[in-house]
A and B are shown apart, each in its own frame.
Chain A
Amino acid sequence: MARLSDFSESEKRHHLDKIRDLPDFGPTPFVKGPRLGARRVAIVTTSGLHVHGDRPFQVGSADYRVIPGSAAAGSLRMSHVSVNFDRSGFQEDVNVVFPLDRLREVAAGGGVGSISDFHYSFMGAAPIRSLEPKARELASLLKRDRVDAVLLTPV
C-alpha cells in the first residue's frame, strides 16, 4: 500500500515535502554492463540494519554498517530511527527487507554471476546530502570488490 493515495494527509504531505526539498542531482548517468549472469551483486539497504553488537544507528547517522554475506539472519538488528514503517515483517522474516537468501538462490541457479562478500546498510532517515561522503566511499569499496550490480533497497 505504498501508494500516496493510501496515506493519511499528514503522511502524504511528509513524503511530498521530501520531493520539494530534494537537491538537484543533475542529469541521470546511465551505463551498461556485463550480462546479468556474469555480474557480481551487492545489496545496499537504507533500512538501518546491522549485525548485533555493531553500533546501532541514531538520529542523524550518515555512515554505514557492514553486513558480511555470512551473517546469520538471527544476528541482524534494525535500529532505523523512524517509527513510521512496519517492522513486523522484518521480525518474521529478514528477507522481506534484506533478501540475501533469495539472492543466494538466484545465484545458485546461475541468474547472477556471484554475490559480494559484503553488503552495506545506511539509515535512510538522515538528511539526503549528508549521506554523500559515505556513499562515495562505499562506491569505491564496491568497485574494489569487483561488484558491478548494486541493489539499493529501501524500507
Chain B
Amino acid sequence: MSLIREQTAAIRPPRALWVPFMLGRPFGAPNEPDFQRGVLLALLTLFERASGPVLEDFPEDAPESHARERDFVCPVSFAAAIVEEGDLAGAMRLEIAQLAPWYDLAVRRRGRTTVGISGMAVEEAASQVAAYLDGAPRPPAVPGISAGVALKRACDDLKAYYYEAAAAQPGNLSPIAIDNWFWRETAAAKALLAIREICLQSADESLKPLGGLGLIPRFVTDGMKVARPEQH
C-alpha cells in the first residue's frame, strides 16, 4: 500500500495500491467501515494479478461523513494571562485540568485511549515536560531509557491527551481544525516549542533529535502557521 505514489513508483514493488488519503489514514477515514472495506478489497484484489509490477490508484477520496469545522475555538477558557506571565508549565497544568472532562468522555465513548506510551499519567508526563521548562529536568521515570526518549514519550502522551479531548467536544472536528487549535491556542504547544529550543541548546545527545523534527511538525516549523490543505 502506498501513500506517497512517487516513492512507490521508484521502489517498484510487485503489487501496490496508491491511496489519495492524508498521511496517518491509509484506510481513508475513521468509523467508515464500508469505505475501509472497499480499500482493503482493492488491496487484496492485487494478489490475483498474474503479472507485474502493478501500481494501481484507488479511485475515491476519503469520505467526509459530516460537516466539519475547519477552525475551532475551544470553549474551555485557557489561561492566556498565565502564559503571558511566562508560567507555561502552570498554564499547561490548568489546560490539562480543564480538558479532563472531555478526555474522560473520549475514553468512555471510544472505550480506549492512545495515551500511555510514557508509562505515566498525563499529569506526570506534563510535570516531566515542565521540569525542563523550569530548568530542572528530572531523570526518566522509566529505568533504562535516555532522557531524550523519556521526554519524547512524555510530549507525545501530552499531545495525544489534548487531541483526544478536543475530538470529544461538539462539532465533529476535522484533523486540521484540531491541529490549528492545538498549535495556535494552547500553552502545551508553546511548551513543546520551548522544549525544542532547550533540546537544541542541550549538551545531552539524546535530546538532540527533539531539537530537530522530533517534536514539532514540519507544517508548524514552515513559518509557524498551520496552512495544510483540508482532506476535502
Q: List residues of A whose CB falls within 8 A of some B CB.
A: 1-4, 6, 8-11, 14-16, 18-19, 22, 25, 28-33, 35-36, 39, 41, 52, 56, 58-59, 73-74, 76-79, 81-93, 95-97, 99, 101-103, 105-106, 111-112, 149, 151-155
**Sample (20) of A-B pairs whose CB atoms are under 8 Å apart:** A8-B222, A19-B7, A56-B153, A59-B209, A78-B117, A81-B209, A84-B218, A87-B160, A88-B163, A89-B24, A89-B175, A91-B160, A91-B163, A96-B36, A97-B26, A111-B44, A149-B47, A152-B1, A154-B26, A155-B24
Chain B 71-105 near chain A by CB (<8 Å), digits 1 or 0: 00000000000000000000000000000000000
Q: List residues of B whose CB falls within 8 A of some A CB.
A: 1-7, 10-14, 19-31, 33, 36-37, 39-41, 43-45, 47-48, 50-53, 106, 110-114, 116-117, 145, 148-149, 152-153, 156, 160, 163-164, 167, 175, 178, 209, 213-219, 221-222, 227-231
Residue of B at shortest CB range from A128?
A: B11
Q: Is the CB of A95 within 8 A of B33?
A: yes
Q: Is the CB of A88 within 8 A of B178?
A: yes
19 more CB-based (< 8 A) A-B contacts, given A8-B218, A8-B219: A1-B21, A2-B23, A4-B5, A22-B10, A33-B47, A59-B209, A74-B113, A76-B112, A79-B117, A81-B214, A84-B23, A84-B213, A84-B219, A86-B24, A93-B31, A96-B29, A106-B44, A152-B1, A154-B2
